Copies of this chain bind each other. A is one copy, B any other.
Amino acid sequence: MAGKVFFSVSMSLDGYVAPEPVPVEDLFVPGKQDDPGVQRWMAQWMELQQWVFPLRFFRENLKLGEGGEEGRDNDIARETFERTGASVMGKRMFEGGALAWPEEAPFHTPVFVVTHEKRDPWERPGGTTFHFVNDGIETALDQARVAAGDRDVRIAGGGATILEYVNAGLVDEFSIALSPVLFGSGVRLFEGVDASRVALEPVRAEPTPRVTHLTYAVRER
């Protein structure tokens, strides 16, 4: 049986999944961290994702050391990881991640990067292999489905890539960790959504002290 196609993101209450973009290199290259724009980006990102950082699963997976919190947030983060047999991501997310992830990248599965760059697969220790797909989102998804087998395919991000898949009718389900924060500006998840085509069906809603976990199935209108 084929798996589902889903995405799972943290979103501010006003609908943002990332701060106003700054050059990817500025976020991770030493010497740029004092820039006020970079500091604002980092502060907003930390606030959006604040429910994730203390989790035992996150700390393990990012090689940040022992310990960390257990509980429902941790279970949900782990379940999201375990259901995922392959991921798809956009070029910008890959480029930022390549600078930020540890050598043992946190996917431990095949990852398909939608990009114009022609490049051989890039194998990382720990089971993550990045494949570079040059002929569009549908091909990337087809390859990810095959790689995932009966597990699910996660559209990992960023926001624009997720929305392309939603508007193409290719997403079955999604989860949002709604964070108690307002951004006022940044990258809106649903900016440009084809609302005449996409209907939502609530699947699950579960609040924890830090965040509200919401899951919806996507239906065609």
Beta-carbon contact of A182 and B205 below 8 Å: no
Q: Verify if A146 is at the interface (C-beta below 8 Å from B).
A: no
How far does the alpha carbon of A184 sit from the alpha carbon of B199 in the complex, in Å? 12
Q: Among the listed stretches A67-75, A90-98, A115-123, A206-214, which one makes contact with chain B, having 4 or more residues with CB under 8 Å of it?
A: A206-214
Query: Are B205 and A181 closer than 8 Å at their CB atoms?
Result: no
Q: Which residues of B contact A201 (CB under 8 A)?
A: 180
In the complex the two chains form, what is the Cα distance from A178 to B196 in whole Å? 19
A192: B residues at CB distance < 8 A:
184
* A200 B216 Cβ-Cβ under 8 A: no
Does chain B have a CB within 8 A of A190? yes
Closest residue to A201 on the B side, CB-wise? B180
The complex places the Cα of A199 from the Cα of B183 at a distance, in Å, of: 10
Roughly how many angstroms separate A189 CA and B198 CA in the complex, as a whole number? Answer: 21
Mostly, the A contact residues are: loop
Given the complex of chains A and B, what is the CA–CA distance between A67 and B182 in angstroms? 39
B202 near A182 (CB under 8 angstroms)? Answer: no
A194 CB within 8 Å of chain B: yes
Indicate with 1 or 0, residue by residue over A119-159, a CB within 8 angstroms of chain B CB atoms.
00000000000000000000000000000000000000000
Tell whether, in the assembled complex, residue A183 and residue B195 are in contact, meaning their CB atoms are under 8 Å apart: yes
Partner of A14 from the list B193, B202, B206 (CB cut-off 8 Å) is: B193
A to B CB contacts below 8 Å, 17 in the list? A14-B190, A14-B195, A15-B190, A178-B178, A180-B201, A180-B216, A181-B199, A182-B190, A182-B198, A184-B190, A184-B195, A184-B196, A202-B207, A202-B210, A205-B212, A212-B212, A212-B214
Task: List A residues at the B interface (Cβ < 8 Å).
Answer: 13-15, 176, 178, 180-185, 188-190, 192-196, 198-202, 204-207, 209-210, 212, 214, 216
